[in-house]
Amino acid sequence: MSKFFRRIGRYFKEGFWGVVRHGAMALSSASAVTITLTIISIFLMFSFNLDQFTREIEGTVQVSATLEYECDGEDELRIRDAILKIEGVDKVTYKTREEEFDYFVEMYDADGKAGLREIYGDQHPMHAAYYINVTSNADLKMIASEVAKIEGIYETSYGGEGAVLLMDALDSVRYGGMILVAALSALAIFLISNTIKLTIYARNKEIAIMRAVGASNADIRFPYVIEGILIGLLGSLVPVGLTIFGYIYLYRFLGGVLLTQMWPLIAPHPFVLYLSAILVAAGVIVGLVGSFFSVSKYLRWKR
């Protein structure tokens, strides 16, 4: 058991001193990690907030379908069922003609209201209507046209087309961002594993000696893995700092919203901590994977 702890202790000690002794190489590996993680962090901030906006906007988009005057209670039930069968429909709310008229009248001032009621009385031209809430990502246009095909529907329309277009635009920005991040990450991981390979190449003498005196593969590998993890952690320091202080600053600077009150930013408090955790984990994983495989080449017995 004490040998076990000695072994673990040595992995950490050697890993730590490896970073210190090969400081320049460790730093160059760490800066590759830093660049990647910073990009990932920016992307995550953007992406999570976009998700939030999307949800916000989606709550406000509805399809409205007005009914023909001839529809009776039976028709209304049939139409309701037909609407609910359409893919992407979440919830349907019924409004009577009177409710619709009241809503319309409500938009005017006292004089206007009185005037309207006087002119129309009970003979107003409003239709009864269904208001349809859609599930996220549903295609409003498609749903509206499906609803329009149902017998007894007078007219359909959907609100927030501008919002939908914007959502689509932001989605493509996010999609493009994702590709960019993937490409940059691949590049950075390549750089990292290359630097770690260089670090290890510079030490193949060390590895050769370890092998010559009969160190097991695990005993050779793990100090390097710890070193890789430490480099990953080192590389995540700056991105974590940037994330926490940068996001808090940005949030304050923008007053908690992006452009309009319609788009509130995610509150910094637990958010930056989650982001930081993701970044630290990513740094550790990159360092671990990079060093694990870089050292493998030197551990293979070629006989």
Least Å from the CB of residue 224 to other proteins? 12
Could you say whether residue 10 binds other proteins (CB under 8 A)?
yes
Tokens 């000695």 belong to which residue?
6
Tell me how far apart the alpha carbons of residues 124 and 160 are, in angstroms, rounded to a whole number.
26
Pick 201 or 249: Cβ nearer other proteins: 201
Strand ranges (E), the chain = 62-67, 89-95, 129-134, 153-158
Coil, strand or helix at 89: strand
Could you say whether residue 216 binds other proteins (CB under 8 A)?
yes
Least Å from the CB of residue 25 to other proteins? 13
Could you say whether residue 213 binds other proteins (CB under 8 A)?
yes
List strands edge to edge, sheet with 89-95: 89-95, 129-134, 62-67, 153-158
State the number of binding residues for other proteins (CB under 8 A): 23
Could you say whether residue 205 binds other proteins (CB under 8 A)?
yes
Tell which positions 11-30 bind other proteins, by CB under 8 A: 14, 21
Least Å from the CB of residue 168 to other proteins? 57
Choices 4-12, 86-94, 142-150, 158-166; region in contact with other proteins by CB under 8 A: 4-12
Could you say whether residue 219 binds other proteins (CB under 8 A)?
yes
Least Å from the CB of residue 10 to other proteins? 6
Cα→Cα distances 210→103, 213, 214, Å: 83, 5, 6
**What is the maximum span of the chain, computed from C-alpha positions, in angstroms?**
103
Supply φ then ψ for residue 132, to 5 degrees. -110, 120
Start-to-end CA span in the chain (Å): 33
Pick 145 or 216: Cβ nearer other proteins: 216
Q: Which two tokens stand for residue 105?
A: 């009248």
Pick 213 or 259: Cβ nearer other proteins: 213
Least Å from the CB of residue 295 to other proteins? 14
Element (H, E) at 271: helix 268-299
The site for other proteins (CB under 8 A) is made up of: 2-3, 6-7, 10, 14, 21, 205-206, 208-217, 219-220, 301, 303
